[in-house]
Structure 1
Amino acid sequence: MVYAEEYMTKKVHSITPDATVSDIIKLVKETTHDTFPVVVNSKVKGIVSVHDLIGKDELDEVSEFMTPRDDMIVTKPHTKIMDVGRIMFRTGFSKLPIVDENNNILGIITNTDVIRSQIEKTTPKKLKKIVNSYINLGYEVTTKRETIQIDDLIPTQANVYEDELYGRAYELKRGLAEPIIVIKTNVNEKYILVDGHHRAVAACLSNIKELEAHVLEINTDKTMGIEKTAEKQGLKSLKDIKILDEEKMNCSSAYKLRANILEL
């Protein structure tokens, strides 16, 4: 499990309530940041961004136009990183202060940190774990990096979550997504999708035709258990995966989701 404290920036550039617009402009130039927690004796009192400066005079004080603590959204160090991402997505905030139980500032986390956590967290370790699992089952396994067509994927996961699809689509369009993990056997010309269902569905909705993949080539002429499970669930292509998180995921709403992702 990955938590916010693992990716937060501990050195936080903060300001005090009596700082002026001129002080903020100077801090923006010095740090290249655009959002600053308002802190007094380590306690978070509010937050201010460059957008709040519009129409303000240089000598106006932060306390007059900051977002006060009661109206802020903060998070805790042991919040799961994906929960932080969901909060950001649903609120539109790109930066969240991290506080302890007594409202002391501990750090700050950005949407870039959330994306970075997803890129860095799994590939080598997860790939090795999956490979070792099949070796321990007695299979002969070799691996290679390859670009594959998403139409050639056989999914093994019946459901994905709508809100996470937006994050995966964002990563894909900016070249930030890690490779999916698939299995190739002697039985089927297609690839069995082991890890990366959200990425694959997001690619499908984004009209992306191919993905980078870690391909586990398993030397067997028998249908594997994971493929039999997929068959029992009626999973033959990515179109068979259900998208959750919407009350009625009908054709109309699925079309709307696709349109929203294409606009990213």
Structure 2
Amino acid sequence: MVKVEEYMTKNVYYVSPENTVKDVIELIKKTSHDTFPVVSEGRVVGIVSVNDLIGKDENEKVKNIMVKRKNMITTRPDADIRDVGRLMFRTGFSKLPVIDEEDRLLGIITNTDVIRSQIEKTTPEKLNKIVDAYRKLGFNLRVYTDTIPVNKIRPTQGKIYEDELQGRIYELKRGLAEPIIVIKKKGRDDQYILVDGHHRAVACNILKIPTLEAYVIEIDTDKKLGIEKTADSLGLRSIEDIEIVDEENNDSCRIYELTSNRNHI
């Protein structure tokens, strides 16, 4: 079971019942967050969101507009994160305060954290499928983890999607991104061919983060791989060549399954 405490944010911005609407607006500007627990004497007594501020006088106190504790949905650090995800889906809440038995604030869990917990669980399975595909083609290889330069990553996917990119930017700002998957030819340290993690790589580039954690599949070959031919055909040399598109206005295929296309390998 994956617990909430493994993915929750522990350093939480919160407000007091005596703060004003103006105070909350200033905190929203400072943090870009839209929801804050309300804490009094160390205990959660309510929650306030940007929606609660609409039409309110800037001098109105938080205690008069907040959702009170008895009407809140919260969770505990030892709760199953999948159960929390289902609860968020049913109720429509995107953030839940994490509290202990005495209502003390321990952290906050978001729907992005829930999604990330499931993505990270699938990464090893995805990695194993890719490794198995190359081994079946007769390549000698080894797999390891490393921190690689973003400017040496060569993409193999020509488009990424704006909505998902914003999610990866959010994760990176909080230090939460899972490793990407790259291929490196043995003896070549100037290029890492990106197999999985295009949104994360672009997010790093936008945020000017110079390195990224990666699963590296090092292949002992001098031949041009199918995945390199794919990059050639798309005119992809660096992260800068990837197009960012709005998914709602784009009818092209979003992703393809690497292991189902031998030519791509």
TM-score if structure 1 supplies the norm length?
Answer: 0.56
Q: Mark the CA change 1:168 to 1:122 in structure 2 (over 3 Å): closer, same or farther.
A: same
What secondary structure is seen at the aligned counterpart in 2 of 1:194?
strand
Correspondence for 1:252: none
Query: Which residue type is aligned with residue 233 of structure 1?
Result: L
What secondary structure is seen at the aligned counterpart in 2 of 1:122?
helix
Q: In the TM superposition, what are the counterparts of 1:77-226 in structure 2 within 5 Å?
A: 93-94=94-95, 110-111=110-111, 113-186=113-186, 189-226=190-227
Q: Mark the CA change 1:155 to 1:212 in structure 2 (over 3 Å): closer, same or farther.
A: same
The alpha carbon displacement at 1:207 in A equals 0.5
State whether residues 7 and 117 of structure 1, in contact with CA within 8 Å, keep that contact through their aligned partners in structure 2: no
The alpha carbon displacement at 1:121 in A equals 2.5
Q: In the TM superposition, what are the counterparts of 1:38-77 in structure 2 within 5 Å?
A: 49-50=47-48, 54-56=62-64
Q: Tell me if 1:233 matches 2:225.
A: no
2-structure distance, mates of 1:139, 1:216: 11
Question: What is the RMSD of the two structures over their aligned residues, measured on CA atoms?
Answer: 4.4
2-structure distance, mates of 1:202, 1:61: 35
Correspondence for 2:105: none
Query: Which residue type is aligned with residue 209 of structure 1?
Result: P
1-structure distance, mates of 2:201, 2:118: 15
Query: Which residue type is aligned with residue 140 of structure 1?
Result: N
Q: How many residues align?
A: 186
TM-score if structure 2 supplies the norm length?
Answer: 0.55
* Gaps in structure 1 of 5+ consecutive residues: 1-5, 9-20, 22-26, 36-48, 68-76, 96-108, 249-264
2-structure distance, mates of 1:226, 1:187: 18
What secondary structure is seen at the aligned counterpart in 1 of 2:203?
helix
Q: Mark the CA change 1:196 to 1:34 in structure 2 (over 3 Å): closer, same or farther.
A: farther
2-structure distance, mates of 1:33, 1:94: 14
State whether residues 183 and 191 of structure 1, in contact with CA within 8 Å, keep that contact through their aligned partners in structure 2: yes
State whether residues 141 and 218 of structure 1, in contact with CA within 8 Å, keep that contact through their aligned partners in structure 2: yes
* CA deviation map 1:117-174 (0-9, x unaligned): 2553322211111111111111112011111111101100111111211211122222
Query: Which residue type is aligned with residue 110 of structure 1?
Result: T
The alpha carbon displacement at 1:175 in A equals 1.8
The alpha carbon displacement at 1:114 in A equals 2.7
Query: Which residue type is aligned with residue 142 of structure 1?
Result: R
What secondary structure is seen at the aligned counterpart in 2 of 1:143?
strand
The alpha carbon displacement at 1:33 in A equals 6.3
What secondary structure is seen at the aligned counterpart in 1 of 2:145?
strand
1-structure distance, mates of 2:238, 2:230: 14
State whether residues 112 and 167 of structure 2, in contact with CA within 8 Å, keep that contact through their aligned partners in structure 1: no
* Gaps in structure 2 of 5+ consecutive residues: 5-16, 18-37, 53-60, 73-81, 97-108, 250-265
The alpha carbon displacement at 1:180 in A equals 0.7
Q: Mark the CA change 1:61 to 1:187 in structure 2 (over 3 Å): closer, same or farther.
A: closer
Query: Which residue type is aligned with residue 153 of structure 2?
Result: L
State whether residues 119 and 177 of structure 1, in contact with CA within 8 Å, keep that contact through their aligned partners in structure 2: no
Q: Mark the CA change 1:246 to 1:144 in structure 2 (over 3 Å): closer, same or farther.
A: closer
State whether residues 157 and 197 of structure 1, in contact with CA within 8 Å, keep that contact through their aligned partners in structure 2: yes
Correspondence for 1:244: 245
1-structure distance, mates of 2:192, 2:146: 11
